[in-house]
A = this chain, B = another copy of it.
C-alpha cells in the first residue's frame, strides 16, 4: 500500500484483436508508462492471458491499486466473465477478471472497449467537462460510449450504445453482423476501404492503386491519396463524410450530447471531412438542436487503456 496521500495508480489494458496495450495511469488519467504487443491470436486465450499477466507485472509499481481491462465484446460485469469476443475466438466463459486477480493480487474489472475509450476521453481527453457526451470510434467497425446527464449510459446488460448496427440505409454491402443497411456497413473504415478498393480496381494506374501497390486498399490509403490532392480519394471522403454525417446527426437526436468525440483510424481524416459532415448536419439536424462540436479524440490510441485504468479507479 502506498503511504497515505501518495498518488494512487491503476493499470489499464486495451485488449484488441490485433494489438494488446497496457499502461500505468495516475488518478488524473496521465500515462506513467505504457507498452504494446501484437495480440497472440494464434496462441488462443491462454496465450493472451499470459501476455496480459506479463504486461501487468511489467507495468505495476508500489502505488498500483487495481486493473481495468477493456474488451472487444460481451462480458458479465458482476462476475468478470467473458461471454464472447467476435474478433477473438474461444474466449466465451473465461473468468478473465478472476484470473488476473489471482495472478496479480489486484482487483480487476472488465469494461466494454468503446465504453472504456469514452471514459478516457470524458475524464482526461476531448470530452472533459461535459455532462452529455458521445464517444464514437470509426474503425474496422463502429462502436460508441455514451455519457448522458453526467453518467455513463449502460442499459440492460450494459448493451446500450450499439449505434453501429442501427439501420440507416436501405441498401449496403453486408455488415460485419451479416445484415444490410447498418451504419457500420456504410460508414466504417471497412466500408470506406471497400469503396476505395473498387475505385482502385477500376483505375489500376491511379493514385490509390499505386499507393497500395498490391496490398488490399484500406481507408488509410484514401487519407494519404487525399492529402496529396487525388480527386478520386477526395470524392471517396466526400461520400464517407455524408454517411458519417447521417449517423452523427442521428446520435445528436438520440442522445443530445454537448460534444461528439471521434476515435478510430477514420478519425485521423476528420479534418478532410469536416466540411462535408457539417453540410449534412445543416441539412438534417432538427431545428432547436445546436450544432455541437465534432472533434477527434485527444488521447488517440490511448483512450481505451486510460479509460480502463480510470474505470478501475472507481473500484
Contact = CB atoms under 8 A, between A and B. Distances in A.
Interface residues of A, number: 45
Nearest to A245: B167
A287 to B, nearest CB: 8
A166 interface: yes
Nearest to A292: B156
Interface string A177-207: 1010000000000000000000000000000
B131 A254 contact: no
Instruction: Please report whether the interface of chain A is mostly helix, strand, loop or mixed according to DSSP.
Output: loop
Contacts of A127: none
Given A246-B167, A250-B167, A155 B256 contact: yes
Nearest to A253: B162
Given A151-B149, A255-B155, A165 B132 contact: no
A154 B177 CA distance: 30
Query: Which of A154, A169, A246, A286 has the most chain B CB atoms closer than 10 A to its own CB?
Result: A286
B159 A256 contact: yes
Interface in A244-277: 246, 249-250, 253-258
B149 A286 contact: no
Interface of A: 74, 83-84, 131-132, 148-149, 151, 153-163, 165-171, 177, 179, 246, 249-250, 253-258, 283-284, 286-290, 292
Closest 4 CB pairs of A and B: A155-B256, A162-B253, A159-B256, A160-B256
